[in-house]
């Protein structure tokens, strides 16, 4: 049994600017009560405010999942950004991205834009999209069963590139203040941050593939019930960000004591330090 008694999920954003309607934070406690959204201090969360919230809760028995990739592929090609980086660990990459990103609020859009066509695909002018399709080991597990989007694809509604590289900046600034799995071992006390993929939570709740986004109260409560949660408190607005965070927090609560998720078969030491792993991929 883990020591965690609180469970939070963050729907993240890599959008430009200081405030982001795409960020949502939900929290629940051990038991069956539904997760509740944590209201942002100023109408909409900034990435810096999420960083501050994590720092403030670092001593709590808290498991936090954030919906972004914590690293870029490394093992298959021997580099995070071949021909550019000499980074040997994910933490090295976080520092590199932070040092080369001047965007406000821990953003990283300019990092991608300056490297479009070389490392990142931002449109047809960059060449064939297939040339940018590289994945981490955890994204290949189960024959692409989670349908991941590569962090090198920075175009379209499903892209995760901007959010992931912004997340790497946040992780760099969090260093030494909260452990991050699997780069750090699971602690015996205090908080821990893990990478999540909200579609995994939706599948676990019985939501059919292709219908992962819950946009009404009835659908959300049905999914929560499948995870052993009581109904949620009504929301003023049912958007993907809020419902993803609420459902993922409930899923973390049900999954925290699953040892197979803490010890996935494909995770070796090289992958652990260079690429990391998505919690929920066994």
Q: What is the CA radius of gyration of the chain?
A: 18
Residue 198: Cβ within 10 Å count: 22
pLDDT at residue 144, rounded to an integer: 59
Q: Across the 282 residues of the chain, what is the mean pLDDT of every consecutive 10-residue run?
A: 96 93 96 97 95 98 97 97 98 98 96 97 95 93 69 86 97 97 97 95 87 84 97 92 96 97 96 97 91
Sign of CA dihedral 37, 39, 44, 47: negative
CA angle 125, 129, 135 (to 5 degrees): 140
Q: What's the confidence (pLDDT) of residue 212?
A: 62
Place of tokens 């629940």: 28
Torsion of CA 245, 249, 254, 255, to 10 degrees: 80
Burial 252-264, CB ≥16 within 10 A → b, else e: bbbbbeeeebbeb
Cα distance between the two ends of the chain:
18
pLDDT tens track for 155-200: 877 788 999 999 999 999 999 999 999 999 999 999 999 999 999 9
Res 16: pLDDT: 93
Residue 216 has which token pair?
């009404």
The Cβ of residue 111 has, within 10 Å, a number of other Cβ atoms equal to 25
pLDDT score at 214: 84
pTM of the model: 0.95
Residue 222 is predicted with a pLDDT of 96
Task: Specify the pLDDT at position 92.
Answer: 98
Predicted confidence at residue 152, as pLDDT, reads 96
- pLDDT score, position 215: 80
- Give me the residues paired with residue 112 across strands: none
**pLDDT at residue 143, rounded to an integer:** 64
Contacts by 152-160 with C-beta closer than 8 Å and gap 24+?
A: 152/72, 152/119, 152/120, 152/121, 153/120, 153/121, 153/129, 154/112, 154/116, 154/120, 154/121, 154/122, 155/121, 155/122, 155/123, 160/68, 160/69
**CA atoms of 280 and 200, how far apart (whole Å):** 7
């Amino acid at each position: 049994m883990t020591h965690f008694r609180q469970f939070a999920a963050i729907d993240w954003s890599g959008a430009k600017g200081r405030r982001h309607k795409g960020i949502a934070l939900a929290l629940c406690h051990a038991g069956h009560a539904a997760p509740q959204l944590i209201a942002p201090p100023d109408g909409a969360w900034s990435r810096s405010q999420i960083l501050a919230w994590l720092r403030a809760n670092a001593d709590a028995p808290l498991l936090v999942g954030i919906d972004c990739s914590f690293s870029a592929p490394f093992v298959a090609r021997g580099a995070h950004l071949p021909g550019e980086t000499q980074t040997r660990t994910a933490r090295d990459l976080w520092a590199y991205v932070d040092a080369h990103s001047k965007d406000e609020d821990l953003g990283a859009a300019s990092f991608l834009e300056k490297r479009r066509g070389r490392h990142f695909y931002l449109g047809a002018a960059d060449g064939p999209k297939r040339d940018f399709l590289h994945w981490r080991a955890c994204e290949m597990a189960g024959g692409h069963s989670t349908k991941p989007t590569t962090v090198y694809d920075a175009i379209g509604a499903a892209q995760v590139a901007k959010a992931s590289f912004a997340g790497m900046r946040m992780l760099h600034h969090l260093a030494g203040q909260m452990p991050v799995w699997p780069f750090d071992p699971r602690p015996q006390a205090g908080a821990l941050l893990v990478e999540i993929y909200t579609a995994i939570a939706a599948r676990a709740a019985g939501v059919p593939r292709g219908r992962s986004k819950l946009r009404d109260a009835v659908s959300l409560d049905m999914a929560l019930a499948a995870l052993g949660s009581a109904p949620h408190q009504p929301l003023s607005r049912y958007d993907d960000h809020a419902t993803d965070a609420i459902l993922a927090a409930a899923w973390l609560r049900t999954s925290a004591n699953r040892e197979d998720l803490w010890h996935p078969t494909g995770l070796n030491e090289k992958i652990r330090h260079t690429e990391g792993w998505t919690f929920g991929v066994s």
